[in-house]
Amino acid sequence: MAEQAASAERVRAMLCESARVKQELAAQASSTIARAASLLIEAFGSGGKALLFGNGGSASDAQHLAA
């Protein structure tokens, strides 16, 4: 039982940290993210494209953004 309670506490702590990071991102980067989205919409609307690339974990981020 104690092990399950400790696991539940770790899960709770991770979820709380995730929420904190997302709140901080929302406070600090919302306008930048919205501007980036507008630029992509404008580029695609005028026949342009977005080139996405990365190395290692950044490559995975680029793949997710492209999909």
Domain boundaries, the chain: 2-66
- pLDDT higher than 90, residue 67: no
Residue 29 confidence (pLDDT) = 98
Residue 40 confidence (pLDDT) = 95
Task: Give the chain's mean pLDDT.
Answer: 96
- pLDDT higher than 90, residue 28: yes
- pLDDT higher than 90, residue 1: no
Residue 13 confidence (pLDDT) = 98
Q: What gap in Å lies between CA 21 and CA 15, rounded to an integer? A: 10
Name the residue with higher pLDDT: 67 or 41: 41
Q: What gap in Å lies between CA 27 and CA 24, rounded to an integer? A: 5
Q: What gap in Å lies between CA 3 and CA 63, rounded to an integer? A: 38
